[in-house]
Structure 1
Amino acid sequence: MANTKTTSAQTALDPGQRSPERRKRSLLDSAILEFSTYGIGGARVDRIAQRARTNKAMVYHYFGSKEDLYLAAMEDLYSGIREAEERLDLDPADPVGAMKALISFTFRYYIDNPAFIRMINTENLHGAVHLQAATGNMAGLNSSIVNKVSKIVESGVAQGIFRRVDPLDLYISISALGFTYVSNRHTLKILFGRELLAEDAVEARLSTITEMIMRYLAADGHHHLAIDR
């Protein structure tokens, strides 16, 4: 599946897709916009259908219910970031370059996909009750990134430049340092008067995140890796 920047107009241009596939994709795109704007409680199926240029019956035909559509949208969002990560050239043989590439990708993905940020915030607000009800393989879907991080760390440890750390904890740290910056940008702008998504601010923040993570990872005597390369 595509990430949240893919639009129904883009998928409609693909002549290799059948009409039902295009319609379902369009409904998912519309649902992601709706749920990320209004939450699951405030979202309206009729708006989702209208935006996708179809009717409510098609929503229920493809997804069964509003709740099932919400879960499909959540899975699509997670699939989007995981598939984008799969396209990254993260060579474990170059653990420093691979880790810096992952840090940069993760931060910029959050910036480029605001619906991803908003829907995760909404789901956490509700205690992840909807994700708990998911019948799909969400855990399996999201285990791939932890495996990638683990391979990079193990390579760095073997080369004597990284210390051994928990790969899940490391990924949570990478995610948190970028996610909070993007999700809280509006309140931080009001409180501190800084436009956090200005190009120079984004570059400065990426540099900070990278240095923090690389210094945390560095084995004794290798702290220079935070700023080199």
Structure 2
Amino acid sequence: MKNKINKKRIIKILLGLFFALAIIIAFNVATIIIQTNHSLQKDYTHEMTKNSQSTQEFIKAMKYKIYISKLHKYASYDNFLMKPLFAKMNYHFEKGKENLPKDSIDDIIWWRLLYDVIYGLVYNDDKSMQYTNLNSEKLQILIDEIYEMIGRLPYGNLENFQMQDSLLEIMLNLSDFYFNAMFEKYERSCIDKNDCSGKKLYYLDKNNSHKHEKIYIYLKDGYDRYIQNSAMQNIIKSKYNQKLLEIINFKFNETQNERNKNE
């Protein structure tokens, strides 16, 4: 009889603890949601003034990015718990893009805010979804997406964001990321990792010449348009000149390789 009473007490205690834990979790989740909503509405008040429909979608995407960041304390980006959050974030980002004018580049700013840490454009201790760990198909999709953004930046317009002083820097960072991702792509085709370089293979592939020339043009056009409004002009100029030199060296190496083949 006593054993039955003790079991009932234990069950009641466990149920009580379970419900208490559930209430605490629900309270914390509700607090995060309220704080997130308040913070986003406050931070992006200006962005709401021109294209509220698009910005609302981007803000919804940002909410899920914040939820992902909160959960990331306990789970990696590729954890199954993250999948529904990523799906919602991606969905609202794409919906936001659909509502922008064709010449708008606001989505590129939002893309950086949402994805740069996840894909490794900036330092991240979780490399589970970094570009170096993506499968070949996803890596190629990312490469194409980055290239497309680089091509739009010099000629598009910001509808909501007031970030003209950062656009050239964003272009340069995206171009760095594009080349690093391309080097990674070629690195995977190396048979002997000790005697092979993805960067070298990339430069040897003349099929890359057209896109290389395009990026050269995009960067020059972006520089001409944005340098006067850029913050930290000397640093940006130095980085720009370095990037152009790398592209020019690619063309030189390509020409030399062709000459060597013909000799």
Q: What is the TM-score when the length of structure 2 is the normalising length?
A: 0.32
Structure showing the higher helix proportion among its residues: 2
- Considering Cα pairs closer than 8 Å and 6+ residues apart, tell me whether 1 or 2 has the greater RCO: 1
Asked which structure has the greater CA Rg, the reply is 2
